[in-house]
Amino acid sequence: MALTAISPSPPSTNNNGNSPSVTSSDVVDVDYYRKGVKYLIDNSKDMKILPPEFVLPLPEAESPSLAICGSIPVIDLSGLNGPVEQRLATIHAISSACAEWGFFRVSNHGIKISVMDEMLKAVEEFFNLPLEEKMRYASEDVMDPVRYGTSLNTSRKHTLHWRDFLRHYGGPVPHSYDLWPDNPPCYRRIAKDYLEEVWQLAIKIFGAISGGLGVDTKYIERSLGEGTQIIAANFYPPCPEPNKTLGLAAHSDHGGLTVLMDNGINGLQIKHNQTWLSVPHIPGTFVVNLGDYLEILSNGRYKSVEHRAVVNAERTRISVAVGHGPEMTAIVQPAGPLLKENSESKYRPIIYKEYIRGQQSTTKRGKSALHEIVTSSHSK
Ligand SMILES: O=C(O)CCC(=O)C(=O)O
Ligand SMILES: [Fe+2]
């Protein structure tokens, strides 16, 4: 078993396995970190210095504190149910937000605040469970249907990140329902209801995006086949030196659309025109962002956007991100109707499952997985 000397250290478990202690010269089993950052911080309450494993080599310009406050477009989705002009104006607003930002907020989305709050509470209860309960779902295999984990993955080849996560599939056909956490006891019911509502919301937005792309409004929905829905519930506890690390490094999401909410603590940043913008919380709204699947499907007309999560010293941040993409066996490629005469596909076709595996396993973040499939005539 690999051991590493670290200073200052996370706590080592004492002989009776109970209250761990903190010393500056501990030799700690690297598996310690697999237990998560919540466990680490809960067991070293007076931690003042970030363990070096979490210190990221961030260039000055990428420093979390340098982000400027930004405001992404807010789109009132009730317009999609209104008279034709209002519907067209809403589709136009979504289409512009997709082309210019890749990120927008939606208000009047039809999901009750009580449903959002209940989901956040269930997630919080999960992360507050004793470690053994969470470790029942611990997995390093990015394709496992249910995973509790920490950082991106805990491969020692790269620096750790200050987050714990629970990921699992949802979807119109939640094949893995019986594998979802059964503790807290309400989790499965609440997550199922939440994920069903969010799926419907994503389909509504996919319809508007199809309209904006000039293809039939069911085009993207049909392209999903049975579809894949993946929830990532992220838990970012207070961090002793938040400016030296990240909760989640810069990445784009692999799916078509991600629908995200958080517990009101700011932390999401997006890269817009090469500048990091922090995206302030607006109660009752969702953040929606385009992922790589839509960049590919639109043949680059819309771009998936890099984003990251920063952490803070005072408050725990929880976010619930739900990605919506095609079924795992779908071939991901630009939409036929968008490939006009003389316009070539900018991306090599790839099976969605292989795309996810590559993207989730890479230690290079950003949009490196997408760059891998750009055809040579379009690569820079
Ligand atoms: O915590 C956040 O705001 C971002 C989460 C995220 O980007 C993800 O889970 O893919
Ligand atoms: Fe993301």
pLDDT in tens, 29-48: 567 778 999 999 999 878 99
Residue 86 has pLDDT above 50, yes or no: yes
CB of residue 319 inside a 6 A radius of ligand 1: yes
Q: Tell me if 263 sits within 8 A of 283, measured CB to CB.
A: no
CB of residue 233 inside a 6 A radius of ligand 1: no
Higher pLDDT, 2 or 188: 188
Choosing from 307, 310, 315 the residue with most ligand 1 atoms within 8 A of its CB, the one to mutate for a pocket test is: 307
The burial class, CB within 10 Å (0-12 / 13-18 / 19+), for 61 is exposed
Tokens of 9: 């250290």
Nearest ligand 1 atom to the CA of 253 is 10
Which residue, judged by its Cα, is nearest atom 3 of ligand 1? 268
Nearest ligand 1 atom to the CA of 232 is 9
If you average pLDDT over every residue of the chain, what do you get?
Answer: 87
CA of 54 to the centre of ligand 1 (A): 18
| pLDDT given at position 4 | 33
What's the rounded Cα separation, in Å, for the pair 217 and 232? 28
- Tell me whether strands 275-278 and 68-69 are parallel, antiparallel or unpaired: parallel
Cα three-residue angle 18-148-123, rounded to 5 degrees: 95
Of residues 168, 209, 194, 171, the one with CA closest to residue 293: 209
Instruction: Give the number of the ligand closest to the Cα of residue 233.
Output: 1
Q: Tell me if 327 sits within 8 A of 224, measured CB to CB.
A: yes
Which residue, judged by its Cα, is nearest atom 4 of ligand 1? 309
What's the rounded Cα separation, in Å, for the pair 309 and 321? 12
CB of residue 307 inside a 6 A radius of ligand 1: yes
| pLDDT given at position 113 | 97
Give pTM, 2 decimals: 0.90
Tokens of 346: 């900018």
Residue 112 has pLDDT above 60, yes or no: yes
What's the rounded Cα separation, in Å, for the pair 13 and 21? 7
Residues 6 or more apart whose Cβ sits within 8 Å of residue 98: 104, 209, 212, 290, 294, 302
Maximal C-alpha separation, the chain = 72
Residue 13 has pLDDT above 80, yes or no: no
Positive or negative: CA dihedral 271, 274, 276, 279: negative
User: Is the interface score ipTM higher than 0.90?
Assistant: yes
Q: Which of 212-221, 305-314, 358-367 shows the lowest mean pLDDT across its residues?
A: 358-367
What's the rounded Cα separation, in Å, for the pair 290 and 90? 17
pLDDT tens sequence across 355-368: 888 887 766 567 87
CB of residue 207 inside a 6 A radius of ligand 1: no
CB of residue 231 inside a 6 A radius of ligand 1: no
% of residues, the chain, pLDDT over 70: 87
CA of 109 to the centre of ligand 1 (A): 20
Nearest ligand 1 atom to the CA of 319 is 1
- From the CB of residue 325, how many other CB atoms can be counted at a distance below 10 Å? 27
